[in-house]
Structure 1
Amino acid sequence: MSAILSADDLNDFISPGVACIKPVETLPVQKPSDSSNPYEVTTEDQVAASEPPPPAQISLTDCLACSGCVTSAEAVLVSLQSHSEVLSTLDAHPSMRPPWLAHNGTNGVANGGTYANGFTNGTNGYHAEERKLFVASVSPQTRASLAAVFNVSEVEAGNMITQLLSGPSGLKAGGNYGSAFTWVLDTNVLREACLVAAADEVTSSLSSSSRPSAPDADGAIDTTPRKPILTSACPGWICYAEKTHPYVLPHLSRLKSPQALAGTLVKSVLSQRYNIPPSQIWHLAIMPCFDKKLEASRSELTSSAWLPNHDTTETPVRDVDCVITARELLHLASARNISFSSLPRTPLTSSQRTPFPDPRLEAFLFPPTRRKNQDAAAGSSGGYLYHILQTYQAQHPGSSISISRGRNADVVEYSLVRGGETIIKMARYYGFRNIQNLVRRLKPAKISRMPGARMAVRRPGVGGAGEGVKEYAYVEVMACPGGCTNGGGQVKVTEVGDVQKAEGIRVSNGDVVAAKPGPKEQKEWLARVDEAYYSAEDDEKLDADGDQEMLDVDIPVMNGNSNGNGHDLVAGISRIYVKGVLSHWADVTGVDQQSLLFTSYRKVESDVGKKKQSDVERVAGLASSLGGGW
């Protein structure tokens, strides 16, 4: 685990109810006897306990299966998913090179059921299975954090990241094999697909013809979420819901996050269409919070969800192999003696880029201009709620969006109104303190066990916009106060001075990082990061040779309209175009869109507080499992 993470850094932390433990099931070690009697009769439990137990190993998978603690506290236990893991993987595997070999089948296999090599073998004596195709995806919040640190624009920060991961002066210049990332994706592109799918999910769930989820369905992938529908893009919130409040699972959106969607798209297309085994595609995500490492470790987000005829005897391949944060990315550059501030601020040239093998997905994943993030009204967490609200607004001409603040800045209520009529209501809840109020109001009323008693009447919440949460159609829930730009993995104001000093950047006396930072300075710093996030421009591009030119964005629109009301464009996103890309993705892989776009959730069972076995019962069970008995 990267040494930069500690519990003190976490802003989405709830104190664990119990200590985090992973007991190693072994018999108690007996004290060695001073006397050695060759005729002494012993028992097999004493023999089995003669060797000390191996040290316990705790992984994220163990954390996901335990309800002892929640949210980012679990990330402290990560042994992998760090910048060191990225470097060790690059040093252990040469990069896979094109050309890509497409095939006629739909199962990604050739030559008698084995994967074809899908790449040139080269002349360096590497075995095909040693090579890996390295792909990275970068969030806009990460770019905003680095943009504020190095006093550049969010677009320039993104170019610097790409130059580090794929450029000639970045990771390619070092390591055992000069391995680097073939593609660096902008998760804003995948977020457009998520926004369109989220709007459709909400519309479908709220329609009178939709099939409500069964009471015992929880968060199954093939069920319809209940009103109010709760965002599923924040892994800290999802982990908290699964472990402590399973009654909210039927309300969770089934939609994958942009991080998960990026991994699913890359691995499914390249394995199903271009013969590259999923195990040889290594996907790195650069995200604003440590909880994204938890998301990458979920068993639901693996090749078993989308690989046809999946062999259950084989270990599923994760859609996202490793997650690092903005702070860890700087450690990655430092470990290779690369000055991040000195990296080119321009895109890769056309000769340095490898086009994605599918032309239609190439145009979608690498558009000619970066998508603008969102305005401040949409928030810093992807704008799910605001896009859904704008979709409804496009379907109701003459309506307007009303915004009102709740009990604090992280609770905001949105209403779509026309005349005196409220068409739909939504809300935003950021930070665990507000989330606790939200789930408390969603808790079902208890039924008295007394004969003839009625259902208990719940006491309404005290004030605030969350008083009538069940009236909301959709609630955008994020664990971090202030949203994703304030993620636990972002560069903190206390670290900015050291980073800039190490990079040789002069700090002005009026800079917030020049003085001894405190809460006031941290707040000012977050405002600077938000400014970088919201001010990302979308009307300029640098062409393939690095020359700046103006670009008139032409979003492809097919015949007809996606909603039947003549409003295909919502916040600059063409719903028809995005749906066409998603349909093409499903056709290329032979996998239905539900398996590609959606996932499931489950209640996490725990034995905390339950009756524990006595030592005699435990020893008896272990002895019998070793082949003996009493």
Structure 2
Amino acid sequence: MSAILSADDLNDFISPGVACIKPVETLPKQAPEEINALTTEDKIHRENSLPAQISLTDCLACSGCVTSAEAVLVSLQSHSEVLYALDSQPSIDLSYLANNHGAQGQDGKLFVASVSPQVRASLAATYGVSETRAGWMIDQLLGGPEGLASGGKHGNGFTWIVDTNAMREASLVLGAEEVAESMSQDTQSTPSDDGASITTPKKPILSSACPGWICYAEKTHPHVLPHLSRLKSPQALTGTLLKTVLSQRLNIRPDQIWHVSIMPCFDKKLEASREELTDIYWRPSSPNSPTQAVRDVDCVITARELIMLADTRGIGFPNLPRRPLSSQIPFPDSTISAFFSPKKHRSQVPEAGTSGGYLHHILQAQLFLHPDSTLTSTRGRNADVVEYKITSSTSPTPIFKAARYYGFRNIQNLVRKLKPVKKSRLPGGRGQASKAGGGMDFTYVEVMACPGGCTNGGGQIKVDDVTLKPETAMSQKEWLNRVDEAYYSMSESEGEDEEGDSKMADDPPDNEAGDLVNGISQSYVKGILNHWASSTGIDLQKLVTTSYRKVESDVGKVGGAENERVVELAGKIGGGW
């Protein structure tokens, strides 16, 4: 990448590609072969061109980072797309469904939404409320009478707004099982570079919930794909659950369910656009099955775009009621409804981090299996690299070793260590045989693209977006500390549990199995997952796992990305983000 380019403002987007074409656009028109050639830094300085600035529209013109197909799909995901979907057709009448056993012959959509805790924390810090009250304000905007339903062509709102914390806990339980399974296997099959042919990843297992990290790995380091966790992220799991359960319970097609996810980072838009996260990977095969795939998550917007959504509709977000919705239609599956109840999901502790706590839960699961063991941590070169070791007093050999790598610079060091060692081709060379893991002795590594974790996502509200009094001015680092504090204090405040006890169904029974790990009942979560699979008739592995593939850039190739066409599309829709 040319030294004049800067990605400082794109801290949740892994990296501009080496073949970034942006400098070309600043050059005078030359011969056709010069326009498409990669331009070096020296050439740019000789032309005395102005410093380049990267925008999403520029990135849409290039497949060095994002392919053309991804670019168009991502650019369509915005607050404007949410309003277009709400105004394009009426909502499905649920009373009609109940009386007619399905929606055959009825037009319309069923609108549902999912919200991440990091977004609630960002809004809580912005408006000086608790994370719980910020969640109520979001509910009021999406599904309340004073929110989106108060305007628009059809007065549509979202019928159900669910918390992704529910499926986060499911992914934590499944992740601990995946790690335990990999530890019990003495030998593993050797997969292809795309990593799509394996069911259990190779050690060290790398977390896969961060789409920026996944995009980077697929396009630049295919040797790490066999190490990626096969589990879907909480966003993807929530989308699959909503589409499968609602279509089965209400007897409607998956394409009649429109699901928006509100996330802290822009890269979640890329995740929602993945071919692997559509109904063709889980729906039962049938001669009448539609040929076009239906995405599990139709649209992703961020915390900042949520505010834009309210402003565009003429709604003052800070003026929304800070109380639960007075009434909500019961979710059609009472077991799943109880699982979605926010009251049943504990807040994260600082030791777990702000990215879901995957590593923390796996460490707690190992401590649960080895009661006499102890956990120690060692900070790396910076605060975003931490190594963990579980040891027993009876043996000097560690029982379990893991690590956390946040931020692109640290991820680069990680993938270098994972690169297999090649044999020397020189006569008499003593090169080592290729070794999976490149000498790393970790069993699990939590990887996130954003320094500091998901509360620092690119779609979060920044300190510069907030009007602060001079005496309360703060730096971005201080602002992030404020957001983190809101994230960790979920559901902790003045009697909010009583006021906000707006559960959708009966609470699940108290834990009696004695299997609480990190405050999560393993048997209860597994029971929910088994109920999901049995009630929909779909194999659980199809519902909760995904795959990855090696992606080759078409930059500079004959017949590659249609740059002008994609730029034109991006311009027509305002660049997307």
TM beyond 0.5: yes
Other-structure match for 1:178: 155
Which secondary structure does the structure 2 equivalent of 1:414 belong to? strand
User: 2:129 aligned with 1:128, yes or no?
Assistant: no
- Alpha-carbon deviations, 1:387-407, whole Å to 9, x = none? 000011011112222122100
Q: Distance in 1 between matches of 2:334 and 2:148?
A: 27
- 1:556 touches 1:574 (CA, 8 Å); kept in 2? no
Q: Distance in 1 between matches of 2:438 and 2:347?
A: 30
Runs of 5+ consecutive residues of structure 2 not aligned to the other structure? 1-5, 23-55, 561-577
- 1:219 touches 1:254 (CA, 8 Å); kept in 2? no
- 2:272 touches 2:297 (CA, 8 Å); kept in 1? yes
Which amino acid in 1 is paired with 2:490?
A: A
Other-structure match for 2:219: 243
Note closer, same or farther for the CA distance 1:205–1:91 as it changes in structure 2 (3 Å cut): same
In the TM superposition, residue 128 of structure 1 has moved relative to its aligned partner by: 1.6
In the TM superposition, residue 537 of structure 1 has moved relative to its aligned partner by: 2.6
- 1:157 touches 1:345 (CA, 8 Å); kept in 2? yes
Other-structure match for 2:482: 528
- Alpha-carbon deviations, 1:22-81, whole Å to 9, x = none? xxxxxxxxxxxxxxxxxxxxxxxxxxxxxxxxxxxxx99x979x851269xx86984311
Q: Distance in 1 between matches of 2:96 and 2:530?
A: 22
Other-structure match for 2:279: 303
Which secondary structure does the structure 2 equivalent of 1:178 belong to? coil
Q: Distance in 2 between matches of 1:381 and 1:545?
A: 28
Other-structure match for 2:333: 358
In the TM superposition, residue 360 of structure 1 has moved relative to its aligned partner by: 0.6
- Alpha-carbon deviations, 1:452-486, whole Å to 9, x = none? 5443599xxxxxxxx99711110000000110000
In the TM superposition, residue 511 of structure 1 has moved relative to its aligned partner by: 1.5
The residue correspondences of 1:106-125 to structure 2 (distance < 5 A) are: 118-119=102-103
Q: Distance in 2 between matches of 1:12 and 1:482?
A: 11
- 1:556 touches 1:577 (CA, 8 Å); kept in 2? no
- 1:438 touches 1:469 (CA, 8 Å); kept in 2? no
Which amino acid in 1 is paired with 2:141?
A: L
Other-structure match for 1:110: none
Note closer, same or farther for the CA distance 1:392–1:613 as it changes in structure 2 (3 Å cut): closer
- Alpha-carbon deviations, 1:104-147, whole Å to 9, x = none? xxxxxxxxxxxx8625x9xxxxx722x11111000000000000
**Taking CA–CA contacts closer than 8 Å with sequence separation of 6 or more, which of the two structures ends up with the larger relative contact order?**
2
The residue correspondences of 1:81-96 to structure 2 (distance < 5 A) are: 81-96=77-92
Which secondary structure does the structure 1 equivalent of 2:440 belong to? helix
In the TM superposition, residue 555 of structure 1 has moved relative to its aligned partner by: 5.4
Q: Distance in 2 between matches of 1:221 and 1:172?
A: 46
The residue correspondences of 1:424-503 to structure 2 (distance < 5 A) are: 424-450=400-426, 453-456=429-432, 470-497=440-467
Note closer, same or farther for the CA distance 1:484–1:75 as it changes in structure 2 (3 Å cut): farther
TM-score, normalised via structure 2 length: 0.82
- Alpha-carbon deviations, 1:399-450, whole Å to 9, x = none? 2221221000100111112224421011000000000000011001122334
Note closer, same or farther for the CA distance 1:370–1:152 as it changes in structure 2 (3 Å cut): farther
- Alpha-carbon deviations, 1:74-111, whole Å to 9, x = none? 869843110000001101121123248589xxxxxxxx
Q: Distance in 1 between matches of 2:64 and 2:193?
A: 24
Which amino acid in 2 is paired with 1:128?
A: Q
Other-structure match for 1:343: 320
Note closer, same or farther for the CA distance 1:445–1:421 as it changes in structure 2 (3 Å cut): closer
Other-structure match for 1:392: 366
- Alpha-carbon deviations, 1:267-315, whole Å to 9, x = none? 0112234311011100000000000000000000000011001567611
Note closer, same or farther for the CA distance 1:213–1:99 as it changes in structure 2 (3 Å cut): farther
Other-structure match for 1:80: 76
- 2:421 touches 2:432 (CA, 8 Å); kept in 1? yes
Farther off after superposition, 581-590 or 219-228:
219-228
User: 2:196 aligned with 1:212, yes or no?
Assistant: no
Q: Distance in 2 between matches of 1:545 and 1:569?
A: 27
Other-structure match for 1:503: none
Other-structure match for 1:46: none
User: 2:527 aligned with 1:557, yes or no?
Assistant: no
Note closer, same or farther for the CA distance 1:271–1:91 as it changes in structure 2 (3 Å cut): same
Other-structure match for 1:53: none
Which amino acid in 1 is paired with 2:267?
A: D
Farther off after superposition, 540-549 or 148-157:
540-549
- 1:327 touches 1:489 (CA, 8 Å); kept in 2? yes
Which amino acid in 1 is paired with 2:526?
A: K
Which secondary structure does the structure 2 equivalent of 1:537 belong to? coil
Q: Distance in 1 between matches of 2:559 and 2:83?
A: 44
Which amino acid in 1 is paired with 2:390?
A: L
Other-structure match for 1:166: 143
Other-structure match for 2:472: 511
- 1:70 touches 1:236 (CA, 8 Å); kept in 2? no
In the TM superposition, residue 541 of structure 1 has moved relative to its aligned partner by: 7.0
In the TM superposition, residue 216 of structure 1 has moved relative to its aligned partner by: 1.5
In the TM superposition, residue 606 of structure 1 has moved relative to its aligned partner by: 3.1
Which secondary structure does the structure 2 equivalent of 1:425 belong to? strand
In the TM superposition, residue 247 of structure 1 has moved relative to its aligned partner by: 0.2
Tell me which of 222, 247, 251 is aligned to 1:275: 251
Other-structure match for 1:593: 540
Q: Distance in 2 between matches of 1:271 and 1:372?
A: 29
Note closer, same or farther for the CA distance 1:546–1:199 as it changes in structure 2 (3 Å cut): closer
Runs of 5+ consecutive residues of structure 1 not aligned to the other structure? 1-5, 22-58, 104-115, 122-126, 459-466, 498-506, 514-520, 562-566, 615-630
Other-structure match for 1:147: 124
Note closer, same or farther for the CA distance 1:406–1:326 as it changes in structure 2 (3 Å cut): same
Tell me which of 505, 515, 521 is aligned to 1:574: 521
Tell me which of 400, 413, 417 is aligned to 2:387: 413
User: 2:6 aligned with 1:10, yes or no?
Assistant: no
- 2:73 touches 2:273 (CA, 8 Å); kept in 1? no
Which amino acid in 2 is paired with 1:365?
A: F
Q: Distance in 2 between matches of 1:70 and 1:496?
A: 31
- 2:101 touches 2:250 (CA, 8 Å); kept in 1? no
Q: Distance in 2 between matches of 1:510 and 1:70?
A: 42
- 2:74 touches 2:273 (CA, 8 Å); kept in 1? no
In the TM superposition, residue 544 of structure 1 has moved relative to its aligned partner by: 9.1
Note closer, same or farther for the CA distance 1:547–1:276 as it changes in structure 2 (3 Å cut): closer
Q: Distance in 1 between matches of 2:231 and 2:336?
A: 20
Which amino acid in 1 is paired with 2:522?
A: R
CA RMSD of aligned residues (A): 3.3
In the TM superposition, residue 215 of structure 1 has moved relative to its aligned partner by: 3.3
- 1:512 touches 1:525 (CA, 8 Å); kept in 2? no
Larger helix fraction of residues: 2
In the TM superposition, residue 158 of structure 1 has moved relative to its aligned partner by: 0.5
Other-structure match for 1:381: 355
Larger Rg computed on CA atoms: 1
Other-structure match for 2:491: 537
Q: Distance in 2 between matches of 1:315 and 1:526?
A: 42
Other-structure match for 1:288: 264
Note closer, same or farther for the CA distance 1:207–1:100 as it changes in structure 2 (3 Å cut): farther
Other-structure match for 2:375: 401
